[in-house]
Amino acid sequence: MADQGFEALKPHRILFFLVPQFSMIAFSSAVEPLRLANRTLGRKAYDWIVASTDGQPVAASNGLTVGVDMSLDQVRQRSLDDIKPELILVSSGLQVEAFRNPQFDGWIRAMHRHGTGVGGLCTGAWLLAHAGLLDGRRCSIHWETLPAFAEKYPTAEVHADLCEIDNGIYTCAGGTAALDMMLHVIEGHYGQQVVTQVCEMCMIDRIRNPRDRQRLPLQARLGLHHAKLLLIIELMEANVAEPLSLAELSEYVGLSRRQVERLFRRHLGRSPARYYLEIRIDRARHLLLQSNMPIVDVAIACGFVSASHFSKCYREMYGRSPQMERLQAAAFV
């Protein structure tokens, strides 16, 4: 429900706790919609505090360093007094397992016990689970970490969703999923009209549903349960620069070539050769868009014998040449 009357004039305070090597995209995707909501409403509807363990700036996984307002000790002394955050969001990244701090665990438990919302961005759910806050709770975490998280914390109901909000606990998969989660928070405070304006300033057309899926492990991503077919696909993805022959793939999994052909036709609707080509072309597209490698080097890195053959296959799949792909991408930078 949107705020009304005097209460609407009081800013909602959010505390971000940064863990070393945190995900910058998740952190900025959570902060920016708050700033834009303030701009839309023409006042400080939200304010935020940034904290770290020792009060020193924290390096993100991309190498950039973010300054903070206070240390964990300062937060612990003041959070139940003059800070009074409504929501604490822990921002972490791929090295989340390296962070262990009993003071943090006790503080985050105490804050939740006193009614403060707590949450995690990217892999932040890992630290909430370690503090014992996710037993029997729905939560979300980045897909790269999901299998290990599910193994380590079996009592947490982890889902491969963009974000989860479960009785005062907010988690998201990271990346731009943090934006969606914060838009849902803003909608709860100020309604759909404000969220629509924030979306327009972010140049997105909608809030994604929290239950929209993030990228999944191979089995779930492809919707397959045939162990040998999944193994063949894993082999393909692991051998892009020097593609394996169908005979090699078949021998490795103990099937005949004809059996492998039938599996791909039945479950994926195309031949093994075609599926392998799609994997290599997709890898090539990532290299074209995310690196400055010469096109001939991209072709070689993805198992093509010549740049001309690579260009022909790429055009057939995407309707444009590798050169045009890069030109179009550069036009939007």
pTM to 2 decimal places: 0.66
Q: Which spans in 191-306 are helix H?
A: 192-202, 218-222, 227-238, 246-253, 257-268, 272-290, 295-301
Three-state SS at 75: helix
Report CA 107 to chain centroid distance, whole Å: 26
Report CA 280 to chain centroid distance, whole Å: 24
The helix or strand, by DSSP H or E, that contains position 309, with its residue range, turns out to be helix 307-318
Q: pLDDT (tens digit, 0 to 9) for every residue of the chain, 333 residues total? A: 445 444 457 899 999 999 999 999 999 999 999 999 999 999 999 999 999 999 999 999 999 999 999 999 999 988 666 778 999 999 999 788 889 999 999 999 999 999 999 999 999 999 999 999 999 999 999 877 775 787 789 899 998 889 999 999 999 998 999 999 999 999 999 999 999 999 999 999 888 877 666 654 566 567 777 889 989 998 998 898 899 999 999 999 999 999 999 999 999 999 999 999 999 998 888 778 756 679 998 999 899 999 999 999 999 999 999 999 988 876 654
How many other CB atoms are found less than 10 A from the CB of residue 309? 11
Cα(170)–Cα(161) distance, rounded to whole angstroms? 12
What is the reported pLDDT for 171? 97
What is the reported pLDDT for 4? 47
- Following CA atoms 279, 284, 286, 287 in sequence, which dihedral angle do they give, to the nearest 10 degrees? 150
Domains recognised in the chain with CATH numbers? 5-202 (3.40.50.880), 222-331 (1.10.10.60)
